[in-house]
Amino acid sequence: MKAIIIGAGIGGLATALALRQAGVDAVIYERTGEIREVGAGLSLWPNAIKALNKLGMGEAIRAMSIPQLGGGIHTKRGELLVGQSGEALRQRYGMPVVVAHRAELQAALAQAVPADIVHLGVQLTGFEQDADGIMARFADGQTVRGDVLIGADGIKSAVRGQLFPTSTPRYAGYTAWRGVAAFASDPEATYWGESWGHGERFGLAPLSNGRAYWFATQNAPEGKIIPVGERKAYLQQLFRGWHDPIEQLIANTDEAAILHNDIYDIAPLKSWVQGRAALLGDSAHAMTPNLGQGACQAIEDAVVLGRALRGTTDVLGALRAYETGRLERANGILTQSQRIGMVGQWSNPAACWVRDRLTKASAGLQTRQLDRVAGYEV
Ligand SMILES: Cc1cc2nc3c(=O)[nH]c(=O)nc-3n(C[C@H](O)[C@H](O)[C@H](O)COP(=O)(O)OP(=O)(O)OC[C@H]3O[C@@H](n4cnc5c(N)ncnc54)[C@H](O)[C@@H]3O)c2cc1C
């Protein structure tokens, strides 16, 4: 069986690993000329770590990441609304939540995949399928035939565009900055996690090698991107007076390395599969980053797809089994992420006060919701 994977992001690379383990001849086509992930930190919850263990990546992940020292939701003044220690998370899920540098995770996955199966600088333009196979067409004129085509080509997926042309990214109403700063982690500190203001949020997590990852959000019209050179000053103004060490983290960040992107997701799809073509990762279920689960879900997808294709010649049945095994869970997390973001971005001070009090009062409910997401083993 030959699988054509479109995209060498975390989803595409994890899929190549899973399919090769399942005995499928998997090849990747990536439009950029090199595998180079910008990005900053990426949280990997126990559900993703268990899936990465199944792909043989457990050791590599442990080596590049550090366990989280606990985390919670705070007000911008630093009052803890709901939180859990790293030890409590470890006890609940059998392992800690870790944060890795996104580029380091992607490089480790790329290293685990044979270099000769990754074709760089080739952009999919479309595909056609018949009873015997599927043929991918690329911008340089080449065509490739296989038994199955997996669209792991991100939120603006060309594969999704052909299968489900009405599905387009939807703007969440807020914009986000991300950065990595030199920062000595304090194991006793309780400020890790996310802090809520009125239409703004700030999140922070320790990284390996004396660094911390942070992100910040603000309600904003779509497309209002602050130019490089002005981002640090803008954020220093926006988060002035927030609890420690937020101002210090922004100050420690190299201006040129601050990323700024608007936040998008897609409306949950009713199907990810048509015949021999299937969607995976953000192309199937791009979600807002509020639960830190987008890449985690792509990794779960990869494991389930590998399992479905192992030892079978029934491609259509295997892809249906993949969809059945994944769609409801990933769509549920997409919707949950969207709702958390909507409430987290509230800006009316009275509504925010009520939100914060309710959050504090409903810690048990939130733990149970988190259990369903992070305590899952694919
Ligand atoms: C601010 C922010 C914070 C986040 N934080 C977290 C987090 O903490 N934890 C977490 O799990 N997730 C997080 N995510 C989500 C995560 O980044 C994504 O879900 C994940 O990277 C999706 O991987 P992917 O491989 O599906 O898509 P992508 O990473 O988008 O990869 C798609 C690949 O396909 C290629 N491609 C596109 N079109 C074509 C084409 N036509 N032909 C060939 N190649 C093509 C692209 O070049 C790209 O390399 C966050 C996202 C954002 C925006």
CA of 353 to the centre of ligand 1 (A): 34
CA of 155 to the centre of ligand 1 (A): 7
Please work out, in degrees rounded to the nearest 5, the angle formed at the alpha carbon of residue 310 by the alpha carbons of 308 and 315. 60
Place of tokens 């997590």: 205
Residues of the chain above pLDDT 90, percent: 84
Task: Give the domain 2-169+265-374 fold.
Answer: FAD/NAD(P)-binding domain (3.50.50)
CA of 282 to the centre of ligand 1 (A): 6
CA of 286 to the centre of ligand 1 (A): 8
Residue-wise pLDDT tens digits, 7-18: 999 999 999 999
3-state secondary structure of 242: coil
Closest ligand 1 atom to residue 280 Cα is 26
Q: Whose CA is nearest to atom 50 of ligand 1?
A: 289
Closest ligand 1 atom to residue 158 Cα is 41
CA of 254 to the centre of ligand 1 (A): 23
CA of 369 to the centre of ligand 1 (A): 25
pLDDT of residue 84: 85
Q: In what order do the strands lie in the sheet with 134-138?
A: 124-129, 134-138, 143-146
Q: Following DSSP, what letter does each residue of 354-372 receive, concatenated?
A: HHHHHHHHTHHHHHHHHHH
Residues of the chain with pLDDT under 50: none
pLDDT of residue 126: 98
Please state, as a whole number, how many other Cβ atoms lie within 10 Å of the Cβ of residue 4.
26
Cα Rg for the chain, rounded, in angstroms?
21
Task: Write down the H helix ranges in the chain.
Answer: 10-21, 46-54, 58-64, 86-93, 102-112, 158-163, 231-238, 246-251, 282-285, 294-309, 315-344, 349-361, 363-374
Cis peptide preceding 245, ω within 30 of 0: yes
d(CA 16, CA 192): 34
pLDDT of residue 157: 98
d(CA 312, CA 318): 8
Whether the model clears a pTM of 0.85, i.e. scores above it, the answer is: yes
Q: What is the 3-state secondary structure (H, E, C) of 155-210?
A: CCCHHHHHHCCCCCCEEEEEEEEEEEEECCCCCCCCCCEEEECCCEEEEEEEECCC
Q: How far, CA to CA in Å, does 374 sit from each of 90, 97, 280, 368, 370?
A: 11, 9, 19, 10, 6
For strand 193-196 and strand 71-75, is the pairing parallel, antiparallel, or unpaired? parallel
CA of 154 to the centre of ligand 1 (A): 5
For strand 273-274 and strand 277-279, is the pairing parallel, antiparallel, or unpaired? antiparallel
Mutation test residue for ligand 1: of 4, 5, 10, 140, the one with most atoms within 8 Å of CB: 10
CA of 277 to the centre of ligand 1 (A): 19
pLDDT of residue 209: 87
**Ligand 1 binding pocket, CB closer than 6 Å:** 6-12, 29-32, 42-43, 123-124, 152-154, 158, 176, 178, 215, 261, 281-282, 289, 292-296, 298
d(CA 307, CA 301): 10
Q: In what order do the strands lie in the sheet with 25-30?
A: 118-120, 25-30, 2-6, 148-151, 277-279, 273-274
Residue-wise pLDDT tens digits, 52-107: 999 999 999 988 888 888 889 999 999 999 998 888 888 999 988 898 888 889 99
Q: How far, CA to CA in Å, does 186 sit from each of 69, 76, 116, 189, 209?
A: 9, 19, 43, 5, 13
Closest ligand 1 atom to residue 42 Cα is 8
pLDDT of residue 203: 96
CA of 2 to the centre of ligand 1 (A): 24
Q: Whose CA is nearest to atom 33 of ligand 1?
A: 7
Closest ligand 1 atom to residue 298 Cα is 26
pLDDT of residue 101: 87
Closest ligand 1 atom to residue 155 Cα is 30
Closest ligand 1 atom to residue 13 Cα is 25
